[in-house]
Amino acid sequence: MDEVEAMTRAGESVGKAVRAVRRRAVQAGHAGADAAVHLAERGQGKLAERGVTADHLRGIVADKAGLLVEKAEAAEKSTRRTRRQLAKKAKAVRKDLLRTAERARKDAKVRTKEIRKAAKQARKDYAKSRHPKGRRWPWVVGILTAGVVAAYVALSRKPEEVLLEDDAFLEDEAFPEPRGRHTDDATLREQAHSARNGQISDH
């Protein structure tokens, strides 16, 4: 029971303290309002001494508020303008990036083709180096030898001499042949010689 009474008394004391705090807060609020009214009256009195009325103060405050509103609107316009400019710049940068990316993609494609081509050529060269073709120089030597032999044979043959009629006549005069069977051979030889030279024999 003692505990219940102690708790009841503690609750009552807390309630009293809360009520006291509320009363003091209300009193402080009234005192603050009275002080504000008193200060406002003193301020109006001082302004009245200087020739400034409450209407004049309201006008000044309204003008200041108007200036602040104009400044805020100007700031908003400038921010809109800067936003538009930034959007344009961002769009241009995006276009440049797209162009650069496209160019880089095309360059990469070309380089890839070149690399593939070079790799293919390297593979071919490597395969050729591992499996060389038969040597060609024995064939070349054989062909050159055959050419040299053919040239030697062709140049070693003497062309047949073509006897002119005067030479044949001199030959007959120098070495007369006996009559008979040999004369027919000489006549035939002269006729052949004349035919070769395009002349007609008298025999």
Q: What is the mean pLDDT of residues 100-129?
A: 89
Q: What is the DSSP code string of 179-194?
A: SSHHHHHHHHHHHHHH
Say if residue 107's pLDDT is above 80.
Answer: yes
Query: In the prediction, which pLDDT does 181 show?
Result: 46
CB 195 within 8 A of CB 184: no
Residue 201: predicted pLDDT: 45
Checking if the pLDDT of 57 tops 80, the result is no
The confidence score (pLDDT) of residue 180 equals 47
CA terminus-to-terminus distance, the chain: 189
Q: How many CA atoms lie within 13 A of 185 on its CB side?
A: 7
Q: What's residue 154's pLDDT?
A: 78
Q: What is the pTM of this model?
A: 0.28
Say yes or no to pLDDT of 162 above 60. Answer: no
Evaluate if residue 184 carries a pLDDT over 70. no
pLDDT at 64: 83
